[in-house]
């Protein structure tokens, strides 16, 4: 992976947890699980989307904006101190208040000395029944002030992390742009689940689609994928639905889509794996997708639809 990181392996952990309406309780759970992961040898720990709160996007409520925090702020400071104390790279998630009226769903990455290595503001924002995210989140910037693309890996002491968030995981363009920019791992903090009234066959189809598309990004880009999701049933505050049952099934897969670890659909879990840093290079030598891309023929991909 990164030439600055010695050795051919990386100890990685992804955390699957339940969340509480009390931010202090959720963060205490996060901290407990992060400490356990670090004690097990993890150098990189990845948390799920919006792990400090319930998934509040089931309804549209202006009072929810009170949960948002600036960066730096209380939650980012706590994560920073935890990363520094444990000597780990930590990927967390914050409902960010950037300024009055501009809020983001933001992944934050802290290096092993506690410094903010970088952040990623969710680019694709859904607006579906039970997932009213457009009400709360402004999409991330397509380009930073210094000219970098919004799909830019974050450089850390354990390598270049291609951090994306949840709905981004359905878009091959996002994964490919991260890979082309040098990402060594694709990371998708997630909050996804079932409408509790869905029948079992529909639930199975949705879960299989979620897993399959992300394994496809691993295969198409010859990169490991880390996808931590939350668990537990969270009620709809409006009472208009029966809430969401978050389906867990967090997983880590290798650069050919092979499962390295996978959680169940109901338990808090720490998925721990040792990644072979040389695998992506080895796979790219025999499956050279990036070499054989016909970039001269892809111009229409920049159109909304082809006429």
Q: Which domains does the chain have, with CATH numbers?
A: 14-301 (3.60.110.10)
Q: Is the pLDDT of residue 2 over 50?
A: no
Give catalytic status of residue 173 as yes or no: no
Angle at 52 (CA atoms; ends 193, 115), nearest 5 degrees? 120
* Per-residue pLDDT at 7: 61
Taking only the tens place, the pLDDT of each residue in 135-183 is 999 999 988 878 888 999 999 999 999 999 999 999 999 999 999 999 9
Q: Which of 184-193, 224-233, 287-296, 298-307 has the lowest mean pLDDT?
A: 298-307
Reading the block at residue 81, the tokens are 């101190």
Name the catalytic one among 122, 133, 160, 184.
122
CA neighbor of 265 nearest in space, from 202, 194, 160, 176:
194
Taking only the tens place, the pLDDT of each residue in 9-31 is 999 999 999 999 999 999 999 99
Give catalytic status of residue 49 as yes or no: yes
Taking only the tens place, the pLDDT of each residue in 109-137 is 999 999 999 999 999 999 999 999 999 99
Name the catalytic one among 19, 23, 49, 133.
49
Give catalytic status of residue 166 as yes or no: yes
CA neighbor of 231 nearest in space, from 242, 211, 246, 250:
246
| DSSP state at residue 290 | T
Taking only the tens place, the pLDDT of each residue in 29-68 is 999 999 999 999 999 999 999 999 999 999 999 999 999 9
Name the catalytic one among 166, 184, 234, 253.
166
CB 194 within 8 A of CB 247: yes
Q: What span, in angstroms and rounded, lies between the C-alpha atoms of 194 and 76?
A: 29
The model's pTM is: 0.95
* Per-residue pLDDT at 110: 98
Taking only the tens place, the pLDDT of each residue in 203-226 is 999 999 999 999 999 999 999 999
């Amino acid at each position: 992976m990164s030439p600055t990181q010695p050795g051919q392996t990386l100890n990685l952990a992804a955390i699957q947890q339940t969340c509480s309406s009390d931010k202090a309780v959720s963060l205490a759970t996060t901290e407990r699980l992060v400490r356990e992961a670090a004690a097990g040898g993890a150098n990189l720990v990845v948390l799920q989307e919006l792990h400090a709160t319930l998934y509040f996007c089931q309804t549209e409520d202006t009072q929810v904006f009170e949960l948002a925090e600036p960066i730096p702020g209380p939650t980012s400071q706590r994560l920073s101190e935890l990363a520094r104390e444990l000597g780990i790279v930590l990927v967390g998630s914050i409902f960010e208040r950037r300024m009055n009226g501009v809020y983001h769903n933001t992944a934050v990455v802290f290096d092993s000395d506690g410094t903010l290595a970088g952040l990623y503001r969710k680019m694709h924002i859904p607006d579906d029944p039970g997932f009213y995210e457009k009400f709360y989140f402004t999409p991330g910037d397509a380009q930073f002030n210094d000219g970098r693309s919004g799909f830019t890996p974050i450089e850390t002491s354990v390598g270049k992390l291609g951090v994306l968030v949840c709905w981004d995981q359905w878009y091959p363009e996002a994964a490919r742009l991260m890979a082309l920019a040098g990402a060594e791992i694709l990371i998708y903090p997630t909050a996804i689940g079932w409408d509790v009234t869905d029948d079992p066959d529909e639930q199975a189809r949705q879960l299989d689609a979620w897993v399959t598309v992300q394994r496809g990004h691993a295969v198409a880009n010859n990169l490991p994928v880390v996808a931590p999701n939350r668990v537990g049933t969270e009620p709809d505050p409006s009472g208009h639905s029966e809430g969401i049952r978050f389906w867990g099934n967090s997983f880590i897969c290798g650069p050919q889509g092979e499962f390295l670890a996978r959680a169940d659909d109901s338990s808090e879990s720490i998925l721990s794996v040792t990644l072979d840093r040389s695998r992506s290079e080895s796979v790219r030598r025999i499956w050279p997708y990036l070499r054989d891309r016909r970039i001269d023929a892809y111009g229409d991909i920049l159109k909304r639809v082809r006429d």
